[in-house]
Amino acid sequence: MTTGTTGESADVAAQTRWAIPLIVLIPVAAIGLATSLSTPWRMVAWPLWGVAAALTVAGWVQVRREGGGGAAGWVSCLLLHGVLVWQAVRLLVG
């Protein structure tokens, strides 16, 4: 099944696929950088991180169905995974 995305539209779709979880991680990063990650802040940060992780899995399902979407999509993917791992380490090590 084809989605009708070719060329630039495929790159935009691939970037958007990974941008949404990155946007969800912005509050987690802000909480981590602005506070000492006390218990109430961790209680807020973990669910946001979980939503971003779930959206990342959904992005991979879409990649599996439609393909990677070019170099720009893979750069966005690497950025997302780097931030996701960084935030997980910050939350675990604290």
Report the candidate in 12, 21, 6, 5 with the shortest Cα–Cα distance to residue 59.
21
- At 32 the pLDDT is 74
> Cα–Cα distance between 25 and 10 in angstroms, integer?
24
- At 65 the pLDDT is 86
- At 1 the pLDDT is 46
- At 90 the pLDDT is 85
> Cα–Cα distance between 41 and 32 in angstroms, integer?
8
The rounded average pLDDT for each run of 10 residues, N- to C-terminus, in the chain (94 residues) is: 58 78 86 75 87 92 82 85 90 81
Q: Rounded to two decimals, what is the model's pTM?
A: 0.78
